Amino acid sequence: MSDTTINSDSPSWTDVACQHAQAVTNSKLPIIEPFRIKSVDPIQARTRPERIEFLEQCHGNLFLLPADAVLIDLLTDSGTGAMSSEQWAALMRGDESYAGAKSYQRFEQAVQDILGLPHVVPTHQGRAAESLLFKILVQAGDVVPNNTHFDTTRANVEAMGAIALDLPCDALADTRSNEPFKGNMDLNALEVVLADDRQHVPLVMMTLTNNAGGGQPASLDNLRGVRALCDAYAVPLYIDACRFAENAWLQHLRDPDVAGLSVADLVKHAFSLADGCTMSAKKDGLANIGGFLALRDAELAESARRVMVVTEGFPTYGGLAGRDLDAVAQGLHEVIDEDYLGYRISSIRYVCERLDARGIPVVRPYGGHAVFLDAARFLPHVQAAQYPGQALAIELYVEGGIRSCEIGSVMLAQVNSETGEEIPAAQELVRLAIPRRTYTQSHMDYVIEIIDRVWQRREQIGGVGIHSEPPVLRHFGARFHPLPQSNPVSA
Ligand X SMILES: *Cc1c(COP(=O)(O)O)cnc(C)c1O
Return residues touching ligand X (CB under 6 A): 78, 125-127, 150, 152-153, 207, 211, 240, 242, 280, 282-283, 291
- DSSP for 13-42? HHHHHHHHHHHS--PPPPPPPSS--SS---
| Dist CA 472 CA 155 (whole Å) | 8
Q: How far is the CB of 133 from ligand X (least distance, A)?
A: 11
Amino acid letter for position 247: N
| Dist CA 63 CA 405 (whole Å) | 8
Which residue, judged by CB position, is nearest to ligand X in the bound state? 126
Q: How far is the CB of 323 from ligand X (least distance, A)?
A: 18
Q: How far is the CB of 205 from ligand X (least distance, A)?
A: 10
Q: How far is the CB of 77 from ligand X (least distance, A)?
A: 8
Q: How far is the CB of 150 from ligand X (least distance, A)?
A: 3
Amino acid letter for position 400: G
Nearer to ligand X, 207 or 485 (CB): 207
Nearer to ligand X, 78 or 409 (CB): 78
CA distances from 40 to 43, 68, 201, 298, 463 (A): 9, 15, 49, 44, 38
Q: How far is the CB of 124 from ligand X (least distance, A)?
A: 8
Query: Are 271 and 116 contacting, i.e. CB atoms less than 8 angstroms apart?
Result: yes
Radius of gyration of the chain (CA): 24
Nearer to ligand X, 211 or 404 (CB): 211
Give me the numbers of helices (H) and strands (E) for the chain, helices first please. Answer: 17, 16
Q: How far is the CB of 412 from ligand X (least distance, A)?
A: 13
Q: How far is the CB of 283 from ligand X (least distance, A)?
A: 6
Nearer to ligand X, 69 or 293 (CB): 293
| Dist CA 276 CA 118 (whole Å) | 9
Which parts of 97-209 are beta strand (E)? 119-123, 143-146, 163-166, 204-207
Query: Are 16 and 44 contacting, i.e. CB atoms less than 8 angstroms apart?
Result: no
CA distances from 134 to 27, 278, 439, 478 (A): 52, 11, 36, 27
Nearer to ligand X, 43 or 163 (CB): 163
Nearer to ligand X, 94 or 215 (CB): 215
Helices (H), ranges, 255-317:
263-272, 298-311
Q: How far is the CB of 247 from ligand X (least distance, A)?
A: 11
Q: How far is the CB of 183 from ligand X (least distance, A)?
A: 10
Backbone φ and ψ of 99, nearest 5°: -125, 140
Contacts of 491 (CB under 8 A, 6+ apart): 459
Query: Are 405 and 431 contacting, i.e. CB atoms less than 8 angstroms apart?
Result: yes
Amino acid letter for position 18: C
Q: How far is the CB of 74 from ligand X (least distance, A)?
A: 14
Q: How far is the CB of 66 from ligand X (least distance, A)?
A: 20
Contacts of 29 (CB under 8 A, 6+ apart): none
Nearer to ligand X, 78 or 485 (CB): 78
| Angle at alpha carbon of residue 447, lines to 385 and 368, rounded to 5° | 75
Nearer to ligand X, 71 or 287 (CB): 287
Nearer to ligand X, 277 or 466 (CB): 277
Nearer to ligand X, 166 or 395 (CB): 166
Nearer to ligand X, 408 or 463 (CB): 408
Contacts of 15 (CB under 8 A, 6+ apart): none
| Dist CA 464 CA 467 (whole Å) | 9
Cis peptide bond N-terminal to 14, omega within 30: no
Q: How far is the CB of 475 from ligand X (least distance, A)?
A: 13
Q: 92-104: b or e for each residue (b if 16 or more CB lie within 10 Å)?
A: eebbeeeeebebb
